[in-house]
Structure 1
Amino acid sequence: MSNFNPVKIVIVGCGMIAEGGYQPRCQAYPHKIELVGYYDQDIDRAELLAGKGGGKVYQSLDEVLNDPNVEAIINLTIHTGHYPVSLAGLKAGKHVYSEKPVALRVEEADEMVETADQMGVKFACAPVAMLGYVQQSVWERIRDDEIGEVVSAMGNFGGPLEYWHPNADLFMMEGVGPFKDVAPYPLTAMTTMIGPVKQVYGLARITIPERMLHAGSRAGNKYRVTEKDHGIGLLEFESGAYGLLYHSWTARSELPAYEIHGTKGCFSIQAHDDGRGIRKSTPTSGWESEDSPKEAYTGLDWGKGPSDFADAIRHDRPVRCSGKHARHVLEICERVFEAADKGVPVEVKSRFPAPIPVGDPPPWS
């Protein structure tokens, strides 16, 4: 650890997720990450984070990208900013870690993946949850054949967003919706543990065309919903396994957050958080609860992804949360909507390098 030179990183986009998630958790790994600065179109936000952790406040994205002291950026802009900001970073020769979704269109993700390869830089993307100790433990047990052949998985996430999120309208604009925003959590777990999806079926539509914000300074403002806010996706994996996705900004379901089913048993865990325990079912014992691994962080450790990213930069190895994997997840979401519109199954064409298990010691140690 003492021989590791921390990677100099700037956070671009200094809103809620930066202040409450990425900054404090990246600061928990100072031996891997050095947050050297912040940029936001609202300079006050950047100054707030700099005041909490030190570092330079940049006046523009160009200033960030032209600074030779900056090795990498973490892109925490709004959904529509993921593609242009990440692409600009990659073209400038910076390593880029993006919040999900990697982009709003598969063609945009293709361009970024190709640019990263051409420039010889690392391109990583959230979600980071699959690096949790619970998720890694269950994945290892699946590889060890504890539940036999995996035959299916299911994921569920969502609920009426406008009742608690002050900017819920941004999550319901064309190109976003619950599939591209929150489906990446169970989809990343499924495609890590099972492999790529080859075909999807979809049912999705706009259920509440006009909504009203109930939280934040704009509470009471009404807005139009321009993206499908409720849907179900059926997945056919290359392995022959099946998947089910339920994602909605309209109705909160009590379906399991994430289950994976095998011929000898099943696991049920959180796809979003680490440290929430493990439930396992077998034909003879039914469902039983287990404690999380003792090392688990309770919640979502936003810093693990950037720490792995930094370790991959220094050791010139593949990142575990790769842009290519995120592109596949994005394509699944896009194809579910296409299948819903056309009323027929749709092929998923992209593939990705199989993620590397974390192992011991973990890259953030």
Structure 2
Amino acid sequence: MSTGPATGIAVVGCGYVADYYRQCFPLHPGLRLVGVWDRDAERLGVYSRYWSDRAYRALDEALSDREVAIVVNLTTPESHAEVTAQAIAAGKHVYSEKPLGMTTAEAERMRDAARAAGVRLSTAPCNVLGESAQTAWAAVRRGDVGRVALAYAELDDGMIHRTDYKSWLSVSGRPWPARNEFETGCTFEHAGYAITVFAAMFGPVRRVTSFSSLLIPDKRTEPPLPHPAPDFSVGCLEFDGGVVARITNSIVAPYDHRMRIIGEDGTLEMKEPWDYASPVRLRKSQQGRLGRMLERRFGAGFAASTLPPLRKIALRRGRGRPTMDFARGVAELAEAVRDGRRCRLDEDFAVHVTEVTEMLQHPERFARPAVVRSTFAPIAPMDWAT
């Protein structure tokens, strides 16, 4: 890990998620926030005053600031590619919120543009760098569950359109962007939290067999949504090493974020991939008759033990505070640039996650099963996890 001068960053997009990033920046002394910008002048003013941050007068001012090495693109998903392209053209490295693009073709254009410009490109989500995911990955490498054959991820969020989401405000007062979330789709919003973890552990995805549907078109918005995205998807992913994973996304089924990694000798389970402190539970396979009977009676959690976390997360807990370090991906990119090494969440990995996600949300665009064209080099665990 390098200890040179802090890397200057600029935030573009001061919406709901920007507050979570802002709360996490102080966890990383290697990052220095230079300024912020949003196309909504009123929102920019509220955000910059709340955090006492410098507000740029225009996007061009942010992109031409020589103190800025990395642009953190937190704009709406449909704006990601446009803003990222402008930042790349200005010679800036970019860390973008997910997705990198709304299509694989968009993501590939961003990757190729970054390489041509000699800059780095990385995207969220960064939960694979978190303590919980790294603890589970270390258990896989140790062989705690034997040879891994199967993985499950449930990313069900319940019927959000029937909740009081209009009262969901970030700490600086920004409402949760319901319309944008419903039109982007829960798969594009959430699948990456599972894909990144499984791909880091098992390598590139080679084939995807998926199904998606819009089950509840009327999300009770006013006015009605012109283009609501599928609110349910399920897909089977076949990885290079032979592991198969099933990923389910919905904003219909009750809240369930379990991730399970199933090996010949046992199962690992994480309850919440959005919580870096989520415990990792290990349950050895029950082979005796009594063990099988107890498992059937008391459920899959029977005889499970909690693995000690590899380290304690530094986040402060409390209402309105994030349970994951949103800035860790930005810090990883900054460190990779300073050290002259490959970023763990580099542009190849970002394109791969985007391609698999598009196959899950829009299977009609691809052959069945869909063959994944993109790939990436093996990802190294965090230094403190080896």
* C-alpha distance in 1 between matches for 2:3 and 2:212: 51
**Counterpart AA for 1:154:** Y
* C-alpha distance in 2 between matches for 1:343 and 1:306: 35
* C-alpha distance in 2 between matches for 1:155 and 1:355: 20
CA distances 1:227-278 after superposition (whole Å, capped 9, x unpaired): 2111211111111111111101222254x52111111211111322210111
Which residue number corresponds to residue 231 of structure 1?
Answer: 233
How far does residue 110 in structure 1 lie from its aligned partner after superposition?
A: 0.5
Alignment of 1:161 onto 2:169: no
2:211/2:233 contact within 8 Å kept: yes
- Could you tell me the percent identity over the aligned residues? 27
Q: 1:4 to 1:54 in 2, by over 3 A?
A: farther
How far does residue 340 in structure 1 lie from its aligned partner after superposition?
A: 5.2
Matches within 5 A, 1:130-145: 130-145=128-143
**Counterpart AA for 1:170:** N
Which residue number corresponds to residue 305 of structure 1?
Answer: 329
* C-alpha distance in 2 between matches for 1:87 and 1:120: 13
* C-alpha distance in 1 between matches for 2:360 and 2:278: 29
Deviates more, 1:286-295 or 1:313-322: 286-295
1:209/1:225 contact within 8 Å kept: no
**Counterpart AA for 2:249:** H
How many aligned residue pairs are there? Answer: 351
* C-alpha distance in 2 between matches for 1:344 and 1:142: 30
Which residue number corresponds to residue 25 of structure 1?
Answer: 24
Alignment of 1:124 onto 2:122: yes
Alignment of 1:14 onto 2:31: no
Q: 1:294 to 1:311 in 2, by over 3 A?
A: closer
* C-alpha distance in 2 between matches for 1:90 and 1:288: 47
State the Cα RMSD in Å: 2.2
1:25/1:303 contact within 8 Å kept: yes
CA distances 1:171-216 after superposition (whole Å, capped 9, x unpaired): 222xx21111101001111111111111111111111112214xxx
1:76/1:99 contact within 8 Å kept: yes
* C-alpha distance in 2 between matches for 1:304 and 1:334: 25
Q: 1:322 aligns with which of 329, 346, 351?
A: 346
* C-alpha distance in 2 between matches for 1:83 and 1:14: 17
Which residue number corresponds to residue 295 of structure 1?
Answer: 312
Q: 1:297 to 1:267 in 2, by over 3 A?
A: farther
1:87/1:112 contact within 8 Å kept: yes
2:2/2:338 contact within 8 Å kept: no
Q: TM-score, normalised by structure 1?
A: 0.89
SS in 2 for 1:211: coil
Alignment of 1:182 onto 2:190: yes
Alignment of 1:84 onto 2:92: no
How far does residue 37 in structure 1 lie from its aligned partner after superposition?
A: 0.3
**Counterpart AA for 1:238:** D
1:202/1:340 contact within 8 Å kept: no
* C-alpha distance in 1 between matches for 2:8 and 2:365: 45
Q: 1:206 aligns with which of 203, 214, 220?
A: 214
Where in structure 2 are there 5+ consecutive unaligned residues? 169-175, 287-301, 316-322
Q: 1:342 to 1:61 in 2, by over 3 A?
A: closer
Which residue number corresponds to residue 171 of structure 2?
Answer: none
Q: TM-score, normalised by structure 2?
A: 0.85
* C-alpha distance in 2 between matches for 1:54 and 1:312: 29
SS in 2 for 1:56: coil
Where in structure 1 are there 5+ consecutive unaligned residues? 214-219
How far does residue 290 in structure 1 lie from its aligned partner after superposition?
A: 3.8
* C-alpha distance in 2 between matches for 1:41 and 1:342: 35
Runs of 4+ aligned structure 1 residues displaced above 6 Å come to: none
How far does residue 292 in structure 1 lie from its aligned partner after superposition?
A: 3.6
* C-alpha distance in 2 between matches for 1:3 and 1:356: 20
1:189/1:271 contact within 8 Å kept: no
**Counterpart AA for 2:194:** P
**Counterpart AA for 2:126:** V
How far does residue 160 in structure 1 lie from its aligned partner after superposition?
A: 2.2
Which residue number corresponds to residue 272 of structure 1?
Answer: 274
